[in-house]
Structure formats: C-alpha cells, structure tokens
Amino acid sequence: MIRHRTLIIAVISVVLLGLIVASVVMIRGGALTPAAGPAADPTAASSSTQAATATPTQECVLSCGDSPQANMEAVPALVWDEPSKAAALKSAAAFMTSFARPELSAQDWYTQIYPLTDVSYGKALFGTNPARVTASAVTGEAVLSIDLDNGFAVWATVPTNTGPWSVQLRRTDAAAPWLAINAHPGEDHS
C-alpha cells in the first residue's frame, strides 16, 4: 500500500515537472537556450565605456500574434448615402418587428431575432422571455439619428404600440448588413 502511494506521488511529481518545463519552453518561444544579453553570458565584459548602440534589424509593425494590424489609413470612410440610410431603416424595422412578438415561444422568437443581431447582442438575448417584451407591434416608420462622422453605427427610433424604442445598429463595412447591437424602450440613445 505504501509502495503504491509512493509510486503515485512520484508519477504525479514527474508529470508536474514536465508541465512546468513545457510552460517555460512555450513562454520562451520554444527555445531551451539561455536568453541573449549580458546576464546570459557571465564572461561578457561589462564596461561603461562600451558603446550601447541599437541597430534596427527590421521595421517595427504592431501586431496581434503573427498578424499585422490593419493599416488604418487604407480603411475608407463610410459615407452616409441614400442606400446606407435605406438599409439602416430597413434593418431597424425588421429587428423591431421580430423583437416585438411577445406571443412567440422563446425558441421561435430567438430563431427570428438572432440573424438580425451581431453575435454579442444575439448571445445576450438568448434566454429572453418574449412575453416580457412590452411592445407587440411596430406602428410607424423608423427615424435615424445619424452621426455624419460615423458610417459604421447609427441609432434608430422605432415607434411601437407601447411608445418609441431605440435600436442601435452597426455594420463592419459598406457592403455588410446593419445588425442590432442594442435595443431598449424610449428615445434615449445611450
């Protein structure tokens, strides 16, 4: 019994040691060699008279992992033209028409609403009881509150049988659909 316990403890210790070594190797980029620099070479002379000049070996590019960041100068500004406005109005009306359906089952309601939202807002709406949605009908045309400097996002006020609702929409580029990212009763666009 004691031998068995000792063997188990030894195996666990070896596994933990292996995990620690693997973590260190991953942190150091897969290298098991000492880090470069004065601390890595104990025989290196450390003199205040040595010139410490850095010579760049490559152009610095900000990145996330192995992918360089987007060139923000190359991203064209989105202009508020009539097709953009019409698409935003259509998306706001479609979202609110699907949202204001308290008679539906939660599953049917969510199935209708999810394609009209971005992923984050769609996930936030999961589990919503549509019977708790106060509005049950859209009663008029939506009105946009446009920020001319931002062609990626817009607020729409949509009239319903229980008063106005604010729907915030976002798109990723001129060809992308407008998707709901927020909705609440009232005309407060915040």
CA distance 49 to 118: 60
- 49 has a pLDDT exceeding 50: no
Distances in whole angstroms, Cα of residue 126 to Cα of each of 112, 129, 137: 12, 9, 21
- Structural domain harbouring 153: 82-185
Confidence band of 169 (pLDDT split at 50, 70, 90): very high
CA dihedral of 93, 126, 112, 164, whole degrees rounded to 10: -20
Cβ atoms of 142 and 156 within 8 Å: the answer is: yes
Q: No. of H helices and E strands in the chain?
A: 4, 6
CATH number at residue 123: 3.10.450
Where does residue 93 rank: exposed (0-12), middle (13-18), buried (19+ CB within 10 A)?
middle
Q: Judge whether 113 lies within some domain.
A: yes
- Cα–Cα distance between 113 and 131 in angstroms, integer? 14
Is the residue at 65 inside a domain?
no
Q: Please check whether residue 34 lies inside any domain of the structure.
A: no
Q: Tens digits of per-residue pLDDT, 67-82?
A: 767 666 666 678 899 9
Residue 122's pLDDT is what?
A: 97
Residue-wise pLDDT for 86-140, tens only, equals 999 999 999 999 999 999 999 999 999 999 999 999 999 999 999 999 999 999 9
Average pLDDT, the chain: 82
Task: Tell me the torsion sign for CA atoms 106, 107, 108, 112.
Answer: positive
**In a domain? residue 190:** no
The answer to whether position 138 is within a domain reads: yes
The model's pTM: 0.61
Residue 7 resides in a domain: no
Residues 14-37, mean pLDDT to the nearest whole number: 62
Count how many domains the chain has: 1
Say if residues 163 and 185 touch (Cβ distance below 8 Å).
Answer: yes
Helix (H, G, I), strand (E, B) or coil at 181: strand
Assigned domain for 131 exists? yes
For residue 44, being part of any structural domain is answered with no
